[in-house]
Amino acid sequence: MTLQDLQTPCLLLDEAKLRRNVAGMQDHLARLGVAFRPHLKTAKSRDVARVAMTSSTGPAMVSTLREAEYFAEGGVTDMIYGVGIAPAKLGRVTAIRGRGVDLAVILDSIDQAEAVVRHARASGDRIPALIEIDGDGHRSGVAPGDAATLVEIGRALTDGAELRGVLIHAGGSYVLDDPDTLAAAAEAERFAAVSAADILRAVGLPCPVVSVGSTPTARFARDLAGVTEVRAGVFMFGDLYQAGVGSVGIDDIALSVLCSVIGHQPAKGRILVDAGWMAMSRDRGTSGQAIDQGYGLVCDFAGRVFDDLIMIDANQEHGVIALRPGSTAVLPDLPVGAQLRILPNHACATGAQYDRYHVLDGDGQVTAIWPRINGW
C-alpha cells in the first residue's frame, strides 16, 4: 500500500521515529538507574505498547479503564490507572484484576481511601493504591508536606486494601521551555515525591513505589535518587506543543495527518484541505507558546516541513492553510488532489479522532495498519 492509496484524512505513524524516541527515553532512564513505565494514553494501541514497554506484560500506565481492559486482553498484567478513582469504578477495577492483572489505582483523599477499603472488604480484593502528590499546584494530589493527610490516607488503606506508594505528575513543566528550568522542575518533582514517601515510611507505613513522570521532566531529569520508576507517554510520538517545550524536536514528531488539497482562495492566500478540526482536534495549545503553530504545521507528501506554512483555521471538515502572519516565505503551488501531512499540536487529542494508525517505514511506504481504541 502507498500513501496515494489512502483515503484522506487519515493518521500516519512513522515507525522508525517512534522506535528512536522510545529507545532514547529508555537509555536516558537506564543511565539514571530507574525503571520506565510508559504511559499508553496517547498511543491506545497494543502494537505501540509492544514497542514502548520493556516487557510484553508491562509495566504500563493507562488513563481509562477501557485502556486497562484492552491492554489486559493483550497480555499486559502490570498497570496503574492514573486518574483519581471514582468509587463507582471499583467493581470494574476488581473485574480486571480478577483476570490476573496487577492493576493499581491512585487517590488523594480520605474519602477515596475509605471507599477503596469498603470495596476491598466486601469483594475480598485488596486493591493496591498510590497516593497522588501535588508538587506544583498543577492539578490534583496531596501537598508533599501535608504529613497529617498523607498518614491518614496511608493508614486507612492498610486497613483492608494495600498502600502501594506515592505518585506525582509534574504537569506544571508543560509551560516551561528552558533546559535548566525543566531540570529544576524535574528535581522539584523528585524531591516532592521522595519527601512524601519519607513521611509515610517514618511512621512505619510501606511505600515501595515512588513514581514520577511527565514527558518534559523525564526528558530533562539529571538525578532521580529515591525514585523507583518514571512515567511518560507523549514523547513516543511527539507533537508541536512538546517541540515548543523543548522535549522533542520537530524531526522527532512521528505522528501526522495525511490530507488532500480540495481548493484554493488566491485572493486570501489560502489553500483548503479535507482535514478540519474533526481530523486535527480543536487543541490550540501552541497559541500560548513562543511560536503559534495554528492547528498544525504543514509538510509535503514526503514529510518535509514547508517554511512557515500552517493550518491557520479549521471548520469541522475543512482545514485552511496559509503562511504564518508576517512570513516572507512563498505560498507553495499545490494543485487540487495534492497530498500533505500536518503535524499536530497535541498527539493525544489528534490521535483520539482515529481508530487506526497507517504505519510508515523509513521510505514513507505503508507497511502495516495498527488498530487503536478510544472511549472510557
Stretch 144-155: mean pLDDT, rounded?
A: 97
Per-residue pLDDT, 363: 85
Stretch 139-156: mean pLDDT, rounded?
A: 96
Per-residue pLDDT, 51: 98
Stretch 132-151: mean pLDDT, rounded?
A: 93
The string of pLDDT tens digits covering residues 127-137 is: 999 999 998 88
> Using H for helix, E for strand and C for coil, what is the string for the chain?
CCHHHCCCCEEEEEHHHHHHHHHHHHHHHHHHCCEEEEECCCCCCHHHHHHHCCCCCCCEEECCHHHHHHHHHCCCCEEEEEEECCHHHHHHHHHHHCCCCEEEEEECCHHHHHHHHHHHHHHCCCCEEEEEECCCCCCCCECCCCHHHHHHHHHHHCCCCEEEEEEECCHHHHHCCCHHHHHHHHHHHHHHHHHHHHHHHHCCCCCCEEEECCHHHHHHCCCCCCCCEEEECHHHCCCHHHHHHCCCCHHHCCEEEEEEEEEEEHHHCEEEECCCHHHHCCCCHHHHCCCCCECCEEECCCCCEEEEEEEEEECCCCEEEEECCCCCCCCCCCCCCCEEEEECCCHHHHHCCCCEEEEECCCCCEEEEEECCCCC
Per-residue pLDDT, 330: 93
Q: What structural domains and CATH numbers belong to the chain?
A: 3-10+254-371 (2.40.37.20), 33-239 (3.20.20.10)
The string of pLDDT tens digits covering residues 226-241 is: 999 999 999 999 999 9
| pLDDT, averaged across the chain | 96
